[in-house]
Chains A and B, each alone.
Chain A
Amino acid sequence: MGLQGFLLVSAVLFGIGMFGFLARRNAILMLISIELMLNAVNLSLVAFNAYAYYTPDDNGAVFALLVMAVAAAEATVGLALVIAIIRTRQTPEVDEYADLKE
């Protein structure tokens, strides 16, 4: 499996995450889909780093690690927000959060 294979896997993962984010109604599952998309981008970053042929530089893994830490922070705050809003609204369904519409 070459660089193309890894990039295609990354693209498919991103597509699955995008579908899940757009189509799911549960806020927690939408957050999981966001994590999936971040993972897909991370995979393509590491793949590009591994197959770097212009300059054999080792820095790509740094970006992957930074993205991972940011994803952890995002998951923490996102889940805290979701739990807070579920506590007040008693439902995880995002369709019910329509107060600003009215």
Chain B
Amino acid sequence: MMVCFGSLAGMYALLGAPIVAAAQVLIYLGAISVLILFAIMLTQAGDANLPSPFHRQVPLAILAALVVVGLIGWAVVQTDWGNATVVLAVALDDLAAALFTDYALPFEILSMLLLAAIIGAIYLARRPEDDEKVN
């Protein structure tokens, strides 16, 4: 998973979006991977009788995934992309200006969403007996 996130960051850099690549490294490689590792550490009980990691609907899942990939791939290959061969590098100051002028409202809504997510995550992950200790 971390290799996949890292190579995606490399692809963003290839596509002329270095700020997105940096954000990918920071958020995915730095934050989300560590978060998932912590969750795995907290939840692995170490029971010996591990069942199969896959559901019994594996054939259906393979079928659905292949159909979706096939449809998207067919659409991608069939479409005439014209002269879409020029990689435009994203200028950092243009991006910042767009983010704080045209997209200021989504930016603020996003900050509220992150605040709500933090509060919700703390509330959900807290043990109930911590309340009694505080009181």
* A residues neighboring B (CB under 8 Å): 2-4, 6-9, 11-16, 18-19, 22-26, 28-29, 31-32, 35-36, 39, 42-43, 46-47, 49-53, 56, 58-62, 64-66, 68-77, 79-84, 86-87, 90-93, 95
Contacts and interface: CB of A to CB of B under 8 A. Distances in A.
Interface residues of B, number: 73
Contacts of B90: 49-50, 58, 60-61
B73 A65 contact: no
| Secondary structure call for the B interface | helix
Contact of A36 (B4, B77, B116): B4
Contacts, number: 203
Contact of B110 (A64, A69, A93): A69
Contact of B11 (A6, A26, A29): A6
Given A2-B85, A46-B17, A56-B88, A28 B69 contact: no
B110 A70 contact: yes
26 contacts: A3-B81, A3-B85, A4-B76, A4-B81, A16-B65, A22-B57, A22-B61, A23-B61, A35-B32, A46-B17, A47-B15, A51-B88, A58-B91, A58-B95, A60-B90, A64-B17, A65-B19, A65-B99, A66-B106, A70-B113, A75-B35, A76-B118, A77-B121, A80-B120, A80-B124, A91-B45
Given A61-B20, A65-B19, 13 more contacts: A14-B69, A35-B1, A39-B4, A43-B8, A50-B88, A56-B88, A62-B99, A65-B20, A71-B32, A81-B124, A83-B42, A86-B42, A91-B45
A69 to B, nearest CB: 5
A73 B43 contact: no
B55 interface: yes
Nearest to B66: A15
Contacts of B134: none
Tell which of A2, A80, A81, A91 has the most Cβ of chain B within 10 Å: A80
Contact of A49 (B17, B66, B69, B102): B17
The 4 closest A-B pairs by CB, nearest first: A22-B61, A15-B69, A73-B117, A80-B121
